[in-house]
Amino acid sequence: MLSEENLPENIEENSSNFKDIFRELHSDKEFNHLYNEALEKRAPLDKNFSRRKFLALLGISAAFAATGCSNYRDKGNIVPYNKKPSEITIGNPVFYASTCNVCSNSCGILIKTREGRPIKIDGNPDHPINSGKICTTGQLSILSLYNPQRIKEPIFNNTQISWQEADKNIIQTLIKTTENGKEIALITNGITSPTYKKLIEGFIKTFPYTKIYSYEITGYTNKINAFKKTYGRESLPSEDFENAKIIVSFECDFLNNYPNKLSVLNKFSKNREIIEKENFNRTYCFESTPTVTGINSDYRIVLRSDILEEFICCLINEFHTVKKLSEYAKNISVINLFSKYILSDFILKNNLSKNVIDNLINDLSNNTGKSLILGGIQLSESTQILIFFLNKILENDKLYSKDKEIKCQYPLIKKADFNNLVEKINNDKIGVLTHIDTNPVYHFNGIFDYIKAIEKVPLVITLTEFESETSAQSHYTLPINNYLESWGDYNYVTGIYSLQQPVISPIYNTRQKEEILLTWIEGTHQNNSYLRYLKNNWEKNLLPAFGFPFDFKSFWINSLNAGVVKTNEKINFTGEFKIEPSELSNKPTSVTTNDYVLIIKENPFLLDGKYANNGWLQEIPHPISKIVWDNYATISPSAAKNLSLNTGDIIEIKKSGKSIKIPVLIQPGNADKVISVELGYGRTKAGIIGSFIGTNPICLLNADKDDLIIKDIEIVKTGNTYELVSTQEHYSLEKYKDIPIKRNIIYEFELDEYRKNHDLINSKEVEGINLKTFPSVNQPHKYDELKWGMAIDLNKCIGCGACAAACNIENNIPMVGKEQVKLNREMMWIRIDRYYTGDINNPSISLQPVLCQHCDLAPCENVCPVAATTHSTEGINGMAYNRCVGTRYCSNNCPYKVRRFNFFDFRDNFKEGFLYSEPLKQLSNPEVTVRSRGVMEKCTFCLQRIMNARDNAVKENRKIEGTDVVTACQEACPTNAIIFGNINDTNSDLNKYRNHKLGYTLLEEIKVKPNITYIAKLRNNH
Amino acid sequence: MKKFLLDYNLKVRLPVIIFVIATVFVITYYISYAERNSIGYAPSQPINYSHKLHAGSVQIDCKYCHTGVNFSRTANVPSVDVCMNCHSISRKDKPEIQKLTNYFENNTPLHWKRVHKLPDFAYFSHSLHVNKGIDCLNCHGDLKLMEVVTQVNSFTMGACLDCHRNPQNKIIDYHKLTNIKKGPEHCSACHR
């Protein structure tokens, strides 16, 4: 062949062009000879074996090698435990009782774990406060445990350090600060743990210049202070909602944010009974923006927030001065203070319905001692004092528990105290600033110059699970355990102690916050030191104090198992009411109603913004507006018209030099000239999910005022727009007015109307046809043994979203993010529809949870080309995911639009849906298939729970019964509005609902025979 | 000539090709049936455990080791400490037992090769079947005779449905079982 030696030597010099070289070579006879010789000598294979063939052969042999060498029959490994913990049976869940730490309510929870991984949080049925229920945030907080964005190691000025180093440096500084006589400030949220309190007392003993700043931004601080000034107790009264015949709420969203909310919900729902007995209380709600409480009230009266105080004064005047209702009112004389507030004038001036107010006055006068008047967190301390005064006049303090109160272990501070702290920092009096799981930089952003101030502090420490605005400003960021990895005890209500135990060992290199403080006190770190401290405190202090005669070890094991300790502790609430007349003076004379007012509301799910980083919580639609992933400023339709605003227009809200920009939402039922904005949004450092979502309105607040109502704001239209995404379209209200009522999707009646005529629904005819008796052309299926069905009592449903949350976790439903919700691709299997009916300025707002109706003659089944959705012999409309090819015919043919399609693999496709990342995928429920892209899915009636119940029935050698199965939504529903069971069992609870006169199914006229019965809502109006 | 060629192609060549392909396909399908369903799959395990010895000669009950079989969906491959119940004393001199002891003492995970497997989207419950009285050998074969665990039955949906439809033909000692009628046939019985 051609080799270097054969090349002409002068190739470089001769050639200006390579073509010439080869031409020369070919004309060279010697070269041609050598070349031909080489061709002849070449291996014969070369002649036929082209490069292409070679590559083909290479490919095929590689493929053969790959198939041959890989063991295609290999099915992986089974790796059993080396030493199996005795309580675990693989495949069966283990439940642990613990305490939720999401808010200060400290509800008892039952954590479902599978092979050591917590996968679901439910309420502890043995807990006297929340009796087996848990709120939406509590349920979804489990995501935070596995959140890949948790801080994994201690951080000092953005560099990772070891715990030993951090401990050493911090302890040195603490000692030095104490020697210099400077203050160590501990900023915490409300403390409800007695042992934690003792620990902090120990901390103060070791470092005497320590001060505690305990605050709750969405807490009832004003009410506590008002209760202290009137009844002399620094706590909240434990109110008896069950026996309250009349409940009047002034901006108080007690169904959403209230101390012991779940107990309130449970008792409230007992007064909405329709099945066994007709037991109804009557609720009046005075509010500016629709809340969960308002829309479930019998009377919702739209009232500007800034004239509430005047209205309460009018009521006091009416009951105290004019009617002299109670003994108390007869004896105490503050007449001249209130005589100028004339109720009839107020009604006239503010265009209130005289009928409704008269009814309110009558109801309250006829039910003295049996009604409750409540004020929300937005109201100032002086308004709360007036409300206590009004309750006292009506003798409603009889409903305050005599031996129980609701109390934080440390008094909560006011804004003024926080202002003092900032001043102290500015005067260089603070040596160490420790934020214990709080985020004051975000919470007081714009109110105090906190960010600037803390730069002056020599040492700022933040103990936190997640990156936050505060941790970004700190020297040390110490990662703490999630509450599912922690020990603790909680006492929020007198006599009820909840215990907290870890259900998983810390996933990252984190420590419990109490353990960190204990390390600083003791000077060295020991593993499980807080557990020893906790047990010691219970053995030495608490147990003897309760007078329990038990041996500590058995007491401890049993209490941990139960999750709750009930003691005989009692307070002595005498009901002795004292009030300084000075507190009652300085009341508003009259309010100019021309200025805009801003009211800051609490978000039902994100609370104070701590859980902004939780995608599931961001994606649960807001109960009223159905908007996801955003907050907004609500505005009434008429005000929007005046300002020529549309939903999505960005406005600037200005108040004394400060301003925020926020999109508006036209909210039917909003008070005119009132803007409301929710808290919890506008985080700037909350990980990839929570950052830069919505706007934080808190900067508009004044530093010295303690209410959340801001008067005299200025609104400017910016001209920019922003897209708000909601799961329910905002159709033109005029065009589609009252459609849901006309189409018989929702029924709403008055209680009296129903009492007169029980056949309200059965007698209803549409165009001369009675829907219930209208015959079907289809032959019904036969269900011999079991047939599953559900009933939803709309009298009890408050639309809180707990069912959707439970469903999300139980059924591995991914979050999809705002962009996808905009395209109607949300994945939640339960949606709660909200309908406005009636006058647009004060509409009646109805809610209706809609899930797969499991129709007997399901239209989706007929159209599936691959028979992926089929009917079971027990009436369940099932989905075989592995069979689904994603034609979406079923979804098109579903009259209820409850089917959800996986347009993507939502688990890792988007930054919001990072459910596949470690360790988040461990959250999945192993009993339910994880669906992939291109598959249709929908409610299965918790098939896994039905099968589990069947397993258990077979184990016990009996037949499965309807009551054996509790679906996830039913288990979570805090008002027990959802009932599930066997339709063929004629004695079942379910059949009482199904056969009830108020029971109806959706779109009855299409005769698909849904198995979900709705009970029509009754309002207890006059 | 053209016409002739087309005729030849259509009448002879094409049918022959189709016939050959179809035959090859059908034959491969049937020959590979067992192979595809993993029948006869008997991987070698990290420890040469013999069911024939333990379940057959020594007559240890299945449930002694597979503790989950009537409590849980999964039967449970026994954890190492279950083996050590006996082998902390018995046969300590045997090399396989020493291997086992090593696993136990060093707390190393023991990776058994999986023999029987259903796809992830099929939810089979051991406890439901076993508590109804269906013997292990209906699906797993007679393990008392197996030195190395081998898959004897196919674990396909067809195999499940065969038994659910005609249990009388499939289940050994069917007449002795009192509370069995038929298995469910709807999709949601296994797929959720």
Asked whether residue B68 falls in the same domain as residue B16, the answer is no
Same domain, yes or no: B63 and B157: yes
The domain at A742-778+788-1019 falls in which architecture? 2-Layer Sandwich (3.30)
Per-residue pLDDT tens over the stretch A953-985: 999 988 888 899 999 999 999 999 999 999 998
In the predicted model, what is the mean pLDDT of residues A642-656? 89
Average pLDDT over residues A280-306: 91
Q: Which residue of A has its CA nearest to B43?
A: A74
Edge-to-edge order in the sheet of strand A488-493? A236-239, A400-406, A488-493, A496-500, A564-566
Write out pLDDT tens, residues A105-115: 889 999 999 98
pLDDT at A508: 92
Q: Domain limits at B24?
A: 2-31
- Residue A954 to residue B123, Cβ atoms within 8 A: no
**Res. A742 pLDDT band, cuts 50 70 90:** confident
User: Within this chain, do residues B185 and B137 fall inside the same structural domain, yes or no?
Assistant: yes
Indicate the pLDDT class of residue A744, thresholds 50, 70 and 90: confident
| A951 neighbourhood in chain B, CB within 8 Å | 73, 125, 127-128, 131
* pLDDT tens-place string over residues A29-71: 787 888 787 777 665 555 567 788 888 888 888 887 776 666 6
> Cβ of B95 under 8 Å from any chain A Cβ?
no
H or E element in which residue A869 lies? strand A869-871
Min distance A825 CA to chain B CA atoms (Å):
21
Residue B2 has pLDDT above 60, yes or no: no
Looking at residues A736-760, what average pLDDT do you find?
84
A82/B80 Cβ within 8 A? yes
Does a structural domain hold residue B17?
A: yes
pLDDT at residue A2, as a whole number: 43
Q: Specify whether B161 is located in the same domain as B71.
A: yes
Return the residue of B nearest to A956 by Cα. B131
DSSP A922: G
3-state class (DSSP) for residue A972: helix
Radius of gyration (Cα) for chain B, nearest Å?
24
Q: Residue A3 — very low, low, confident or very high, per pLDDT cuts 50/70/90?
A: very low
Whether residue B119 is contained in a domain is answered as yes
Nearest-CB residue to A947 (from B112, B120, B125) = B125
CB A197 within 8 A of CB A410: yes
Residue B118 lies in a domain: yes
Chain A residues touching B43 at Cβ < 8 A: 71, 73-74
Per-residue pLDDT tens digits for B126-159 = 999 999 888 888 999 999 999 999 999 889 899 9
Domain with CATH 3.30.70.20 in chain A: 742-778+788-1019
B154, part of any domain: yes
Indicate the residue of B38, B78, B188 with minimum beta-carbon distance to A80.
B78
Chain A residues with beta carbon closer than 8 angstroms to that of B116: 75
Candidates B120, B128, B121, B117; CA nearest to B151 is B117
> Looking at the structure, do residues B6 and B63 belong to the same domain, yes or no?
no
3-state secondary structure A112-169: EEECCEEEEEEECCCCCCCCCCCCHHHHHCHHHHHCCCECCCCEECCEECCHHHHHHH
Cα–Cα distance, A706 to A223 (Å, whole number): 11
Among the ranges given (A506-510, A917-921, B159-163, B182-186), the one the predictor scored with the smallest mean pLDDT:
A917-921
What is the layout of strands, in order, in the sheet containing A282-287? A299-302, A282-287, A246-250, A371-375
- What does the pLDDT read at residue A478? 93
The number of distinct structural domains making up chain B is 2
Give, for A382, the enclosing helix (H) or strand (E): helix A381-393
pLDDT (0 to 100) of residue A68: 64
Q: For residue A11, what pLDDT is reported?
A: 46
Nearest to B109 among A76, A82, A91 (CB): A82
Of A582, A729, A552, the C-alpha closest to A647 is A729
- CB-count exposure of residue A143 (10 Å: 0-12, 13-18, 19+): buried
Mean pLDDT of A273-290: 87
Q: Is residue A445 within 8 Å of A139, Cβ to Cβ? A: no
Nearest CA in chain A to B73: A91
**How many angstroms separate the CA of residue A516 from the nearest CA in chain B?**
31
CB contact (8 A) between residue A881 and residue B77? no
Task: Examine residue B162 and state whether it is found in any structural domain, yes or no.
Answer: yes
Which of B35, B68, B189 lies closest to A90 in CB terms? Answer: B68
Residue span(s) of chain A under CATH 3.40.50.740 come to 155-214+411-482+506-541
- Coil, helix or strand at residue A952: helix
> CA A451 to CA A449: how far, in whole Å?
6
pLDDT at A140: 92
B8 min Cα distance to partner chain A (Å): 31
What distances in angstroms separate CA A395 from CA A323, A357, A387, B67, B129, one per listed residue? 14, 20, 12, 63, 64
Strand partners, A96: A111
DSSP structure class, residue A456 = T
Confidence check: pLDDT of A901 > 80: yes
What's chain A's average pLDDT? 86
* Residue-level pLDDT at A486: 93
Residue contact B123–A881, C-beta within 8 A = no
Question: A779: how many CB neighbours lie within 10 A of its CB?
Answer: 7
Above 80 in pLDDT, residue A27? no
Phi (first) and psi of residue A108, to 5 degrees? -75, 135
Q: Is B74 helix (H, G, I), strand (E, B) or coil?
A: coil
> CATH class for domain A595-726?
mainly beta
In angstroms, what CA-CA distances link B105 with A82, B82, B88, B100?
Answer: 9, 13, 11, 9
Distance CA A713, CA A711 (A): 6
Q: Is A386 helix (H, G, I), strand (E, B) or coil?
A: helix
Q: CA angle, A693 as apex, A687 and A699 as ends, to 5°?
A: 105
Quick: pLDDT tens for B22-81: 999 999 998 888 878 888 888 889 999 999 999 999 999 999 999 989 899 998 899 999
Instruction: Cis check for the bond before A919: say yes or no (omega within 30 of 0).
Output: yes
Distance CA A287, CA A388 (A): 18
Question: Do residues B56 and B20 share a domain?
Answer: no
B21/B64 same-domain check:
no
| pLDDT confidence bin for A511, thresholds 50/70/90 | very high
A-facing residues of B in 110-149 (CB < 8 A) are: 110-117, 119-121, 123, 125, 127-128, 131-132
Q: Which residue of A has its CA nearest to B102?
A: A82
Which residue intervals of chain B are DSSP H helices? 2-8, 14-31, 33-36, 51, 62-65, 80-87, 95-106, 126-131, 137-140, 157-165, 167-170
- Note the CATH number of domain A221-406: 3.40.228.10
User: For residue A666, what are the β-bridge partners?
Assistant: A635
Mean pLDDT of the region B4-31: 88
- Cα distance from A781 to chain B (closest Cα, Å)? 14
Residues of A in contact with B76 (CB under 8 A): 80, 89-91
Give chain B positions within 8 Å (CB) of A947: 123, 125, 128, 192
Is residue A172 within 8 Å of A165, Cβ to Cβ?
Answer: no
Closest CA of chain B from A952, distance in Å: 8
Size of interface A-B (CB pairs under 8 A): 138
Between CA A411 and CA A309, with CA A243 as vertex, the angle to 5 degrees is 55
Instruction: Look at residue A734 and tell me whether its pLDDT is greater than 70.
Output: no
| Alpha-helical runs (H) found in A15-116 | 18-27, 29-41, 45-48, 51-69
Report the gap between the CA of B137 and the closest CA in chain A (Å): 20
Q: Residues A845, A380, A345, CA angle at the centre, nearest 5°? A: 65
Distance CA A247, CA A249 (A): 6
Whether A947 and B121 lie within 8 Å, measured CB to CB: no
> Quick one: average pLDDT of B118-129?
90
Beta bridge partners of A766: A769
Q: How far is B100 from chain A (nearest CA, A)?
A: 11
| Range(s) of chain A covered by CATH 3.40.228.10 | 221-406
CA distances for A787 relative to A484, A525, A994, B191, angstroms: 38, 59, 13, 18
Taking CA atoms, what residue in B is nearest to A944? B192
Give the phi and the psi of residue A151 in degrees, each rounded to 5. Answer: -75, 130
Chain A interface, best mutation among B83, B108, B188, by max A CB count within 10 A: B188
**Inside any domain, residue B88:** no
Question: How many other C-beta atoms are found inside a 10 Å radius of the C-beta of residue A974?
Answer: 27
Tell me the shortest Cα–Cα distance from B17 to chain A, in angstroms: 23
Angle at A915 between CA A912 and CA A916, to 5 degrees: 125
Given a cut of 80, whether residue A735 has pLDDT beyond it is: no
Assess whether pLDDT exceeds 80 at residue A654. yes
Give whole-number Cα distances, A940 to A520, A558, A825, A933, in Å. 52, 37, 19, 19
Written in H, E and C, the secondary structure of B124-153 is: CCHHHHHHCCCCCHHHHCCHHHCCCCCCCC
The residue in chain A having the minimum alpha-carbon distance to the alpha carbon of residue B82 is A83
The answer to whether position B39 is within a domain reads no
| Architecture (CATH level 2) of domain A155-214+411-482+506-541 | 3-Layer(aba) Sandwich (3.40)
H helix or E strand, kind and range, residue A302: strand A299-302
- pLDDT digit string, tens, across residues A812-856: 998 888 888 888 888 999 999 988 888 888 888 899 999 999 999
Binding-face residues of B in 156-185 toward A, CB within 8 A: 179, 184
Q: How does DSSP assign A603-669, residue by residue? A: BTTTBTTTTTT-HHHHHSPPTTT-EES---EEE-HHHHHHTT--TTEEEEEEETTEEEEEEEEE-TT
Reply yes or no on whether the pLDDT at A992 is more than 80: yes
Residues forming a β-bridge with A650: A663
Same domain, B142 and B175: yes
Strand A430-436, strand A459-464: pairing: parallel
Q: Is residue A7 very low, low, confident or very high in pLDDT (cuts 50, 70, 90)?
A: very low
pLDDT for A173 beyond 50: yes
Q: Is there a contact between A64 and B59 (Cβ–Cβ < 8 Å)?
A: no
Q: Residues A398-419: what's their mean pLDDT?
A: 86
Q: How many CB atoms lie within 10 A of CB B147?
A: 13
pTM above 0.95, yes or no: no
Measured CA to CA, the distance from residue A851 to residue A811 in angstroms comes to 13
ipTM of the complex: 0.89
Asked if the Cβ–Cβ distance from B79 to A940 is below 8 Å, we say no
Q: DSSP letters of A323-338? A: S--SHHHHH---HHHH
**Could you count the other beta carbons within 10 Å of the beta carbon of residue A728?**
14
Asked if A950 lies within 8 A of B112 by C-beta distance, the reply is: no
Please judge whether B114 and A76 are an interchain contact, meaning their C-beta atoms are less than 8 angstroms apart. Answer: yes
Strand partners, A564: A498
Q: Is B124 within the bounds of a domain?
A: yes
The stretch A10-16 carries a mean pLDDT of 48
- Tell me chain A's radius of gyration from C-alpha atoms: 34
CATH 2.40.40.20 domain span(s) along chain A: 595-726
Please name the member of A75, A929, A957 whose beta carbon is closest to the beta carbon of B114.
Answer: A75
Residue A13's contacts (CB-CB under 8 Å, 6 or more residues apart) are: none
